[in-house]
Amino acid sequence: MEKLSKTSLNYYLSEYLEDLKRAGVKDFRRTPLRFAAPPSPTDVERPAASAESPKSASGKPSESGATQSRKPAPSASDDERERALAQIAAQVACCSLCPELVANRTQTVFGTGNPYAELCFIGEGPGAEEDARGVPFVGRSGQLLTDMIEKGMKIKRADVFICNVVRCRPPQNRNPERSEADACRPFLDATLDVVRPKYICCLGSIAATNLLRVDAPIGKLRGIVHDYKGSKVVCTYHPAYLLRNPAAKKQAWEDLQLLMREMGLFK
């Protein structure tokens, strides 16, 4: 089973790198990864593209057009998720695809939380404190996120999984560039395939547009239950934005209530 996990992950990474090359991306160096041969059809089945229009969780067409088919989870069985995530984290730690991020980082920031979580929060990228400690959302934004989870949703932060679109701190805390998000995408997909969350909360427009592959402001993505490979996705404001704009906390609470209703935690 462990060998299959490595095979599937390496195949996904190889595919993404080839996609980037075909797209003309040149500003990266190949990492010293050993890509295995593609898994057999019994290991990874690729669903046929659907001609149906994207729908939200309510059954109505999604405004984002973000519905995607669920790929089979990677080979990790439930009792191997920690090992599978550790393998992905090791790949992240040796990644050198984005020279500017590699030169700027103290360490990579993979993710934290329960590998069996039903709910995953996704942010945009590590900040200075996260880069120093190697854990996502540990600064002021992290404390606010903890309050949103524990005081608002009444669940423990340790019971969810938290990660970012990119796993290295961008210089001066700038937004991740699209090429950087694309280079880091296989790690995000592989992480979600292992954890297999039923629900995802995107924190801010960077996380939402990159995960859902859409080009829309966060205001257009809020209030809708999107779909990502079978997981229900709710989008809200990033905690850092809420710290700068406290009035938006009311809208963020509405978003959390929507998420809680989907999870059966709020009526």
Q: Residue 7 belongs to a domain with what CATH number?
A: 3.40.470.10
Confidence of residue 267 (pLDDT cuts 50, 70, 90): low
- Residue with token string 């903890």: 146
Query: What pTM was computed for the model?
Result: 0.73
> For the sheet containing 231-236, what is the strand order?
111-113, 161-164, 119-123, 199-203, 231-236, 226-228
Inside any domain, residue 232: yes
Inside any domain, residue 47: no
Our count of domains for the chain comes to: 1
Structure tokens at 159: 């019971």
Confidence of residue 78 (pLDDT cuts 50, 70, 90): low
Inside any domain, residue 130: yes
pLDDT more than 70, % of the chain = 70
Inside any domain, residue 49: no
Inside any domain, residue 197: yes
Inside any domain, residue 195: yes
Mean pLDDT of 233-242: 98
Residue 77's pLDDT is 54
Mean pLDDT of 9-37: 43
Confidence of residue 13 (pLDDT cuts 50, 70, 90): low
Inside any domain, residue 100: yes
Confidence of residue 19 (pLDDT cuts 50, 70, 90): very low
Closest C-alpha to 185, from 5, 19, 6: 19
Q: Is the pLDDT of residue 1 over 80?
A: no
**Residue 144: CB atoms within 10 Å:** 18
Closest C-alpha to 5, from 91, 109, 65: 91
How high is the mean pLDDT of the chain? Answer: 80
Strand spans (E) along the chain: 111-113, 119-123, 161-164, 199-203, 226-228, 231-236
Inside any domain, residue 48: no
Q: Which domain holds residue 197?
A: 2-42+56-263
Q: Is 112 helix (H, G, I), strand (E, B) or coil?
A: strand
